[in-house]
Structures are given as C-alpha cells and as structure tokens.
Amino acid sequence: MFLKFLRLEIKSFFRGSSVGINLAMKIFRFMGILYFTGCLVGGAFLAFFYVTKEMPGEDPLKLVSRFLLAAWAIDLICKYIWQEMPTQNIKPFLTLNIPKKTLINYMLSKTFLSAFSWLNSFFLITFSIICLFNGYGFFGILSWLIGISLLFYLNNFINILFNSKETVVIIIGCVFAALGALTYYKVIPLLSYSESFFYAFYNKPYLVILPVILFVGLWWICFRYIRKEFYLDQGLEAKKDVGKTENIAFLNKYGAIGSFINNDIKMLRRNKVTKGILLGSFMFLFYGLLMFTSPIYKTPTMMMFMGLFVTGGFQFMFGQRVPAFDSSYYSLMMTLNVPYKEYLKAKWWLMNIVTAVSMLLALFYVYFGWEMYITFFAAGLYNIGVNSQFTLWSGAFNKAQIDLNSKEKRIGQKTSFNFKALLLLIPKMFLPMVVFGLTKYLFGMTAGVMSIAILGLIGFLFREKIFDTIVKHYKREKYSTLDAFKSKD
C-alpha cells in the first residue's frame, strides 16, 4: 500500500499544471542537498583527522559526542520551523475503504523521507566508517550510530506532538536558550554531560535498546495522537475561532490607504503566518551580529548587505508576498472597485513605517562603532526609498497561495519561483552593495553613506512614477494571479 501511495504522488507530480516549475524547483533543491551532503561528509573527515592531528590527546569520538546534544537541539528547531505533516495529500483517501492505521503509518513514514530527517546521517555514517578504519570496535560504533540516529529521528515525532502548541514551544525555546547561555558562561557543564551520554552508546552497546524503546514508544504515541483527530471534519480541518471585531479608528481618516493599513495590521495580529513574520522580522534585527563570526562580514559590501536585512527584514518577508496574503479573497477584491494604487501604497507605507522603527531599534549597534550603525542607517534609507518599491514589484510575480490559519513551513514553493522576481534582486541587493563598496573604497566612509542615502532619496522622490509602473505590472499579472490562487495544484 505504501508503494501505491508513492506511485500516486509521482503521477500527480508529472500530471500537474506546473511540471516545468516543479522540475526546476526539484533541481534547485537537489543542488542544495548535494551541497549540504558534501559539507557534512567533509565535516566528518575534518572532525576526525583535524582532532587526530591537532589534538593528539583528544578522542575524536568523544569530541563529536560532546557537541551532539547541541546538534540535536538545532535539528529539532529546524524541523519545527520548516518540516510539515503531509495532510493535504491524505485527505482524498479518507473517503475510500482504506484502513486509517495504514494512512497514519504512511504519514508517519513519509516524514522520514524529508531531507531534514536524513541529511545528518551523511555525517554520522561517514564518521562511523572512518572510526572503523581507525581501530574502533565494530559493535560499539554500530551501537553509537544506531542510537544517535534514532534519537535524531525522534525529533520527527516531537515535532508532530508540539506542532500546534505554540505556548509549549515558546517555553521549550526559552529553556534551550537558558541552557545554552548557562553552558556558554560555564555555569553548568552541559557539553560534558552530552559527551558522557552519547559516548556511552560506544562503551556499552547494550544501551542502544533505550533509543529503540523511545522510538517505538513515540511512534505509538503519535499514532494514537493523530488517529484521535483523523477525520475530515476535525483533525485535518482548519481551526475556526470566534470572530472578533477590531478597528484602529485614527487610520480611517486617511481614506482608502488608512483602511487598507488598518486591515493589514489586524491581519498581522490575528494569524499564525503573519505572527511568524513579525517574529522573523524582529530576529533580523540581530543579523548584524554575524559580523563578529567571520572576517568576511566586515567588508564594506557585506556590511551593506547585513544593513539591508537588519532594517528591512519585515519589508522583505511581507512585501514580496503581496498580494499572496490576500489570496483567499483576492477574487472578491478584483470584482469590487478597489483602487489598485491605494492598495499597494498602503502596503508600502506599512513596510516603511516598520523599516523606520527598525532603524531606531538598530541603535544598539552604536556599541560596536558609529561606522557600523551609520552603514545600517544608510541601508535603511535605501530600503525606504528604493527597496520598498522593488519588493512590492516582485510581489506581482509571487503567486503562491498562503493559508493564514496554518503555520507556513514551505521552502521554495513552486508558485513563488519566478525569474523576473530573481532579476529584481539586482537593484534590491547587488546595486547598493556595489555602490557602497566602490564609493567607500575610492572616497571614504562619508561618501559611501551619502551615495546610498542619495539613491534612497531619489527613489522616494520618484515614487509616484515608479508606482505607476508597478500598478501596470500588477494589472498585467492580474488574471494569471487569479488563476494561480484558484488552482489547488
């Protein structure tokens, strides 16, 4: 039965209305997987031979075990953010004479086909093979590999159990952050505990029975948890809450633009996807701290690159999904007398208000030097004057439907893949980086900042002309966008 399900999914892939884009996205994903596979395999060789050469008294297996707890926590976080249950493909089978236990087991099994589940195995298997060729015991290494692999696979089940419990996830995230800080400041020897725990699978191979029992137990718990709500009108249905009416009164005096901003603010406050965007935008404020992890980030072009993200995180995450956020009622909007220019201007003003707030919040970078903050401030001006409009422009080519009631966990959606949108990255990202880098190199810091600020000012002054062009493109893409939002493929 599992093979039949897989064959049906392969057929749906090739029979869909977007086969070309599907293949393109699969190729890009395959290239990404190859890249990370190479990094993990190379990391396994580096972890063993670097330790052997540079740390003669250190056991490579113990060193890797020391950091596996941190790797496990990062793996769990990544799966929670990006990995989702394949419920949509299962819905049609619920009306057929197929045992529910078969469908549930298939759903649970399919989570292990995700690259997030098995990519880390390249490191673990490669490292284990290297250890076997360098004198480590066969049964000890086999027990270590199986035990750790199963513990990482447990994250799939944990993700399923806590996927819709945001409060619990926030608490667990705070616990992880607190433990990380206590370990960093050497208050508790968490890395030593990690080494002792994971290395025990090698010293005492019989302990592998513990992760086996945990794996089987959590599979059974997840099976019961999903089966309890495995109905078309319950577990797989979008949750409905009691409607609440809100109104930010003072915005209404600004006419259509104020009404649209009012609606967007309410949307941002109410829905899971938009709440995630607000959280992600806040996290982008700390993106500039990467400057202290590698010398490459301290180059002028990379300083500008980080400044664009520090001040424009909300702009990039929100603006490029216009009008996808309105996909559920976009058809209705197009039947009404909606002023397109005012609709886009409302998004533009909202993005720029948040960008201005981000520029103020980024003041803490003054602690690391005025030069850094001034660079970020100039990047913020460029975001307001230029990138805000180009980001809206790229939104015209984003035809990915967004369900505001469910957590968005998709990377590289096929309907959001568009070469025109990729071309718009040139003025959005590469132009300010090149201009700032060259101007600073030739004429100094002040000239570099002024050049970016002038570009932002020019974009702001000519915004009406640019908006006319953007509106034309939105109208040109109108019917293909309507068709994409109606399509379920």
Q: What is the pLDDT of residues 67-111, one digit of tens each?
A: 999 999 988 888 887 776 655 566 677 777 788 888 888 888 888
474 pLDDT higher than 60 = yes
Q: What pLDDT, on a 0 to 100 scale, did the predictor assign at position 243? A: 46
The pLDDT of residue 242 is above 50: no
Q: What angle do CA 356, 360, 364 make, to 5 degrees?
A: 145
Nearest one of 136, 5, 162, 1 to 76, comparing CA atoms: 162
Largest Cα–Cα distance in the chain? 77
Q: Which of 407, 393, 405 is nearest to 315 (CA)?
A: 393
Structure confidence at residue 317 (pLDDT): 83
Any idea which of 63-77, 178-192, 234-248 has the lowest mean pLDDT?
234-248
Mean pLDDT of 206-220: 94
Per-residue pLDDT, 88: 53
Looking from the CA of 245 toward its CB, the CA atoms found within 13 Å total 1
The predicted structure's pLDDT at residue 413: 43
More confident residue, 197 or 289: 197
Q: Which residue has the higher pLDDT, 159 or 246?
A: 159
In sequence order, the 6+-apart residues with CB closer than 8 A to the CB of 71 are 120
Q: Which of 213-222, 227-236, 264-273 has the highest mean pLDDT?
A: 213-222
State both tokens at 271.
Answer: 């829905």
| Cα 320 from Cα 391, distance rounded (Å) | 5
Q: How far apart, in whole angstroms, are the C-alpha atoms of residue 399 and residue 131? A: 49
Q: Cis peptide before 323, with omega less than 30 degrees from 0?
A: yes
8 Å CB contact between 219 and 226: no
How many CB atoms sit inside 10 A of residue 85's CB?
18
Averaged pLDDT, 463-486: 82
* Nearest one of 26, 230, 215, 198 to 112, comparing CA atoms: 215
Q: What tens digit of pLDDT does each residue of 296-348 get?
A: 556 778 888 888 888 888 888 888 788 777 777 777 777 777 777 888 888 88
pLDDT in tens, 346-390: 888 888 999 999 999 988 888 888 888 898 899 899 999 888 888
22-38: average pLDDT: 76
C-alpha 240/C-alpha 244 separation (Å) is 12
Please write the tens of the pLDDT for every residue from 427-455.
777 888 888 888 988 888 888 889 998 99
State which amino acid sits at residue 134.
Answer: N
> Quick one: pLDDT band at residue 417, thresholds 50, 70, 90?
very low
The mean predicted confidence, pLDDT, of the chain is 80
Asked if pLDDT for residue 216 goes beyond 90, the answer is yes
Q: Which of 9-18, 286-295, 366-375, 395-404 has the lowest mean pLDDT?
A: 9-18
Q: How confident is the model over 17-36, as a mean pLDDT? A: 68
Instruction: State the pLDDT confidence band at 412, using cuts at 50, 70 and 90.
Output: very low
